[in-house]
Amino acid sequence: MGQLNQYIMRGALRAIGGLVLFALAVLLLERLLRIFEVVSTSTRPAGDATQMVVNLLPHYLGIAIPMALMLGTLITIDRLSRSSELTSAFGAGVSLLHMTKPFVLISIVLMGFTLVLEGYLQPVGRYGYREVEHSVTQKSFAAILREGKFTKVGKTTFYVGPGGGPIFIYEKMPGGGVRLTTAAKGDLIIRDATGQPVLQLETGDSFRITQDKTVKGRLAFSMSAIAGTVVEQNFRVRGNDERELTSVELYKNRKGDLFPNLSVNANNAALHLRLARAYLLLIIPFIAVPFGINYGRNPSSAGIVVGIISVVTLQKALDFGQSLGAQGIVPPWLGIWPLMGLMTLSAYFIFRNSAVKMGQPPLATLSIFMGDVMKDIRKGSRAVIPFTRKNVNSS
């Protein structure tokens, strides 16, 4: 790799790396509020919150990488254009295709990383996040009871008033309906022999409300106790939905043999979507480099805006195509690959116009085209107005 490409590579890596870190920080801020709410009842909130954040990183990396690659490439080429380094390189006989090689190398590395990220790390991380969330909610009374706050654990909701009362317990029953328990006061004690927490209730009522809204089994008590730890159930095995399966497992389950509880269409649509997202990284440089080129004395930053809009739109279109395939409205591949084929052709013609024909940048060409259209509209309007006035005067 020549010195020019090394120089471009360093600038691109700085821009892309910085954008990935920035995007991760922004995306995690929104989820941290939810994480803090979940771990507020945990006995080890710092450790559980750290585990949940680590498990979320693969998911948010998958969102950040395509955007960072597009913006990093645009910013790097835009900077070269504004400093006239791009013009100097063209004058020295260096082609645009040659200067695109560093971005292609970066995209190939990111494509391989994305295959591992979305094919293995994301499914395992998603399952790990849900497992930690489940574990946090399966805690003892000593961990969950907070004065003046409703706390939900599984199918049971607790409320303890200030000073230990009043007490309110709402529990969904397995056979349907709910059980309500109220008490004027409650004390939490720990048995010396077993260390088991016991919630002692004073002066209360307990009754069940069935599905048909009738009250049954009403019981008034002066003293009662709820002993033991909230039953801690083992979390289900991985594979509840296609997002928890690795790409290898999705491939083996193409006919529904490995995970018969999953829809075959949803399984295959998820596999096609993961492959398409990795392939998208390979064609991004051939779109971003032409969009980043600026000629003339008044360079524009419109390419960055167009780049952001195009990546977001394409991601949403891929998600929509995947949902159509998952529902069986179209074959799983048909919701994904025709769109990727259209993007590939667009990238080819856009890059060919800038690299081979040395034409105007795509945005400049679009601006010229829109200017011509507006001129034609103005000419047409000037021709129509005198004709209209002539008809009005004659009448």
Asked whether 78 and 22 are in contact (CB, 8 A), the reply is: no
Q: Which residue has the higher pLDDT, 37 or 154?
A: 37
User: What CA–CA distance (Å, rounded) separates 352 from 285?
Assistant: 13
Average pLDDT of span 343-360:
80
Sequence spans of domains, the chain: 3-136+260-359, 141-227
Q: Is the pLDDT of residue 176 over 50?
A: yes
pLDDT tens for 200-246 read: 788 888 888 887 778 777 788 888 777 655 445 567 788 888 999 99
* Residue labelled with tokens 């979320």: 56
pLDDT tens for 238-277 read: 888 899 999 999 999 999 888 888 899 999 999 999 999 9
The arrangement of strands across the sheet holding 215-227 comes to 149-153, 156-160, 167-172, 178-190, 197-209, 215-227
Average pLDDT of span 56-60:
93
Q: Is the pLDDT of residue 363 over 70?
A: no
pLDDT tens for 290-314 read: 888 876 555 556 667 777 888 889 9
Q: Is the pLDDT of residue 379 over 50?
A: yes
CA distances from residue 303 to 132, 291, 310, 363 in whole angstroms, order as listed:
42, 5, 10, 7
User: What CA–CA distance (Å, rounded) separates 236 from 38?
Assistant: 19
* Cis peptide bond N-terminal to 166, omega within 30: yes
**What is the model's pLDDT at position 103?**
95
The model's confidence at residue 35, banded by pLDDT at 50, 70 and 90, is: confident
The two three-digit tokens of residue 228, written as one number: 């033991």
Percentage of residues in the chain with pLDDT exceeding 70? 78
pLDDT tens for 134-162 read: 777 665 555 566 667 777 766 777 777 77
- As to burial, measured by CB atoms within 10 angstroms (0-12 exposed, 13-18 middle, 19+ buried), residue 343 is buried
Indicate the pTM of the whole model: 0.73
Beta carbons within 10 angstroms of residue 101's beta carbon: 15
